[in-house]
Structure 1
């Protein structure tokens, strides 16, 4: 919030400090609950009628809030509603994959203003970064802005950003994105502050805010898509590790416990290889399912009694990799996300739980993640909004953990 609102009478009891506390409480309520009347805001923040009216007048004069529609019934005068001025800032949430960049731009209230998707070329850094910048410029142009006018940009990417160097590691799926300070370079390229976060961590944040983990303190989320990853949350905070690599389970070597032989190294193979779309499809075909893709095969198996042996074999592979994580962390919950998990739904999750309990002491429940669509982009947008609201209104950043950010 802006300063200069009158004299202070003391560090803890100054009129300015109290005003700022009340103003932030009002802004937070309007962001959380949407447009409110003065009386409704009064009830939420606990101020008197004159104090609330004065607060709204002050915030309106500073362009922090705006008047909305009148609200009321058939009896009595209709009441004025108030809402946060979303045009004060715009932010972007971005999902980057080897194939495309998917951007959503929202105003400060979280209202979506534009979406843009563009193909990502393959090549070295000098090829992929200009393509990324071009996609961001095109997305910002849809709302009449330059990329540098975005208040904050959060990019979700496969791999882990080392908080000490900003380098993206564990990212063989993203050629051209390794070997440099990714947040810093993108910040210079776009002319604004950029945060780069692991894609699966962003999915975990979305599940914490609006999914199955809203009331869960300790959980593990596993991404079963094009690339295998996990996010570990302890006491509502993401576990990052010394180099940002916590949860990078793709590279673990585990035995293949599937009963049907598909030519894998039974003694040990990379977890990500055993659960790659190609390997899952090979396992499905070994069980007689001839769908054109791994998610299609899993979906067909989940809907047919004959699919039980295939799903059990797939669950054995998933549970084998999960066992070490669950044994160490002892989480309240395991969530399965991404295409294969969505295709298998509760049927696959139940089988993973059964197989997991054969391997570990904790009786951890396993469920499909609730948030579908593009949870990486949704998580990136949520983090971007949190940072921008902190910058503009002084609201606390509620996302779990410190994120690698460019220093602009």
Structure 2
């Protein structure tokens, strides 16, 4: 063997053990031995070495009954901390986690129309303090936001609905305010990442995720990698010009208008009203329609036509394996709405692309941001390969 190869082998085994502990949580020595394929003595030596370095910790015991209880080992979460942020026009939602992925605290604060960077810094600082940290103690912060960061100047483009965030280098300003690494990523891209990690797109190499709502957006994944485009604008379909294929008359331009204008909250409420359904929000209208007999069915068909008209343009160009519908309106409509969109799509394009409901609910933008931040930091601290979906732009 050439010089240095035993050290290289140790590093490879160490990374395999750390990855197994991160993926599975606390493990006994014998469980870890089975996962990484080392002998009992080699696994014991590995754990001793990692414990001496402070990389792993003893954490409780497993078992009982007649036999002895086995020592559990886990990654030392205190090695590094990250923040995941869901930034919207009205609020900033922050989560702090350690490098093991353990969630330490959450904090939500309103977002003003002016002084946005200071308001953002204050929200992250509050969350960090709740975890016993300062902002500059965070190893990395990933922010999910509507719009996309232009790689040329760091500006937040395609985001006219984000008052106060225009005209400056957003990642640079946030890095300076927090004193740590910051990546800003499109919110729908992060939802797609979360679907790849823990949702319907696990193992899917080519797919499109569409979020029909105010400022409708899409994420495009090709060969397992997020496609961002030359200016970060891939998937920004809100301004795409499409006709309104709905049967009900709502005063929209039949010859073509903004795709987003057909699917925002007001437009969906208006479409429901045209079918005799009254609701205060698009989500409520869709839920009401599910139990409203023929009028509800006709409203959902019209809504599906609107969604499918825009999706068809994307499918015709990309021919993906899968289209995922995500967001409140999609979740409210469930498989009933998804099936209608699928049926309409088949009348518009040649590819027979499967349409499914996204699996990840709750706070998918923040969850995707957390996985992205952990990917960055685990590469830096442990040398683990970063996901191919790692956020775009400078850290």
TM-score class, shorter-chain normalisation, is over 0.9
1:258-297 pair list within 5 angstroms: 258-297=246-285
Report the counterpart of residue 5 of structure 1 in structure 2.
none
Given that 2:213 and 2:260 are in contact with CA atoms closer than 8 Å, whether structure 1 keeps it comes out as: no
1:398 alignment partner, one of 378, 381, 387: 387
Is 1:196–1:405's contact at 8 Å kept on the other side of the alignment? no
Q: CA deviation at 1:278?
A: 0.4
After superposition, what is the alpha-carbon deviation per residue over 1:114-172, rounded to whole angstroms, capped at 9, x for unaligned? Answer: 0000000113xxx1111111111111010111111111100000001122322211011
Q: How does 1:6-405 map to 2 (within 5 A)?
A: 10=3, 14-123=5-114, 127-306=115-294, 307-401=296-390, 403-405=392-394
Question: What residue ranges of structure 2 are gaps of 5+ in the alignment?
Answer: none
Task: Return 180-189 or 109-118, whichever deviates more.
Answer: 180-189
Per-residue deviation at 1:225? 2.4
Write the distance in 2 (CA, Å) between the matches of 1:400 and 1:163: 16
Q: CA deviation at 1:78?
A: 1.6
Instruction: State the SS of the aligned residue for 1:194.
Output: strand
- C-alpha displacement at 1:176, in angstroms? 1.5
Whole-angstrom distance in 1 between the partners of 2:292 and 2:12: 57
CA distance in 2 between counterparts of 1:273 and 1:182 reads 27
Query: 2:174 and 2:246 mapped to 1: Cα distance?
Result: 43
Q: Which SS does the other structure have where 2:238 is aligned?
A: helix
1:154/1:48 Cα in 2 relative to 1: closer, same or farther (>3 Å)?
same
* Alignment TM-score, normalising by the size of structure 2: 0.98
C-alpha contact (below 8 Å) 1:383/1:399 kept by paired residues: no
Q: Deviations over 1:57-86 (max 9, x none)?
A: 010011100001112232322211100011
CA offsets per residue over residues 158-189 of structure 1, 9 Å max, x none? 00112232221101111221222211111011
CA displacement 1:210-237 (0-9 Å, x = unmatched): 1001021111100122220000111111
1:249 aligned counterpart, secondary structure: coil
1:50, distance to aligned residue in structure 2 (A): 1.1
Unaligned runs of 5+ in 1: 1-7
Q: Single out whichever of 70-79 and 51-60 deviates more from structure 2.
A: 70-79
Q: TM-score, normalised to structure 1's length? A: 0.94
Distance in 2 between residues matched to 1:85 and 1:401, nearest whole Å: 23
- Equivalent residues, number: 394
Q: In 2, Cα distance between the equivalents of 1:111 and 1:401?
A: 20
Displacement after TM superposition at 1:19 (Å): 1.1
